[in-house]
Amino acid sequence: MIKVAILSKSYGDTQVLGRVEFAVQAGETVALVGPSGIGKSTILRIVAGIDGAFEGQVERPDAAAIVFQEPTLLPWRSALDNLLLTCPGLKPDAALHALDRVGLAGKDKEFPGQLSLGQQRRLSLARAFAGRPGMLILDEPFVSLDPHMADTMMTLTEDLIAEARPATLLVTHAEAEANRLADRVLRLQGDPATLKAES
C-alpha cells in the first residue's frame, strides 16, 4: 500500500504543490493526470523516494519498481544480466521465465542496442516485475510507441499487474491510458497544484 500526504513542495520561493493526499491499495492502479508542468513528475519523485525535500510524509512498500519513459537499461549488459544485476536474489531460471513472460524468449544474450524500442520497453517491464514489487510506478511508459505497439504493451502491463498485484501509480498525459489501466483517476489542477475530486 502507498499512502501519500504531501502538505507542500517548493522550488526556492516557488510553491509547486499544495496539499496532495491519496492512497493506493495493493492490487489497485491509480492514474495521476494533469497538464504538462503542473507537478506530476514531482509527485512521482516524492512517492518513489527520489525527492525528500517536501513537507509531509509518504509510506511505501520496501520492494518498489519504476518503469520510466525511456527504458534506462544497462547498455553494456545482456538482457538477462539487466535482470540479474538489478533484481537481487533473482535466479537465472526465474529471469529467463520473466523474459519469456514479456515475449523476449531467446533474447537473453542480446544487448539493449540489439533490441527494438518495443523490445527494450518489454525488457524494462520484465525487470520491474521480476523483483515482485509491492509498489510499481509507471512514468508514461507507452509514450512514443505507435498505436499498435502501445496497445500490445498496455495489454501486457495489465496482465502483469493482475498477476503481481502491486500498488500501482501511473503518471500519464493520455486520458485513454488512464481510463483503460486505472481503477481511479486523480487530477492535478491549480497553482500550487492540488488534487481535484477523484473519479
Does residue 120 sit in the same domain as residue 143? Answer: no
Which triple of cell numbers denotes residue 14? 516557488
Question: In this predicted structure, what is the pLDDT of residue 37?
Answer: 87
Q: Encode pLDDT of 79-98 as tens digits.
A: 999 999 888 888 999 999 99
> How many domains are contained in the chain?
2
Rounded to an integer, what distance in angstroms lies between the CA atom of residue 59 and that of residue 192?
23
Question: In this predicted structure, what is the pLDDT of residue 89?
Answer: 86
Q: Which residues of the chain have pLDDT under 70?
A: 197-199
User: Is 68 within the bounds of a domain?
Assistant: no
Q: Encode pLDDT of 146-158 as tens digits.
A: 888 889 889 999 9
- Is there a cis peptide before residue 192, judged by omega within 30 degrees of 0? yes
Look at the block and give the residue holding cell 519513459: 69
Question: Left, alpha or beta for 106 (phi > 0: left; psi -120 to 50: alpha)?
Answer: left
What is the dihedral sign for C-alpha 66, 185, 188, 143? positive
Domain that holds residue 145: 1-63+133-199
Question: In this predicted structure, what is the pLDDT of residue 119?
Answer: 92
User: Is 69 within the bounds of a domain?
Assistant: no
Does residue 1 sit in the same domain as residue 54? Answer: yes
pTM: 0.89
Which triple of cell numbers denotes residue 107? 533474447
Question: In this predicted structure, what is the pLDDT of residue 169?
Answer: 96
Residues ≥6 apart with Cβ < 8 Å to 142: 121, 150, 153, 154, 172, 174, 177
Question: In this predicted structure, what is the pLDDT of residue 198?
Answer: 57
Does residue 11 sit in the same domain as residue 108? Answer: no
User: Is 100 within the bounds of a domain?
Assistant: yes
CATH of the domain at 15: 3.40.50.300
Q: Which of 35, 63, 33 is nearest to 48 (CA)?
A: 63
Instruction: Give the largest CA-CA distance in the chain.
Output: 53
Does residue 4 sit in the same domain as residue 18? Answer: yes
Does residue 112 sit in the same domain as residue 18? Answer: no
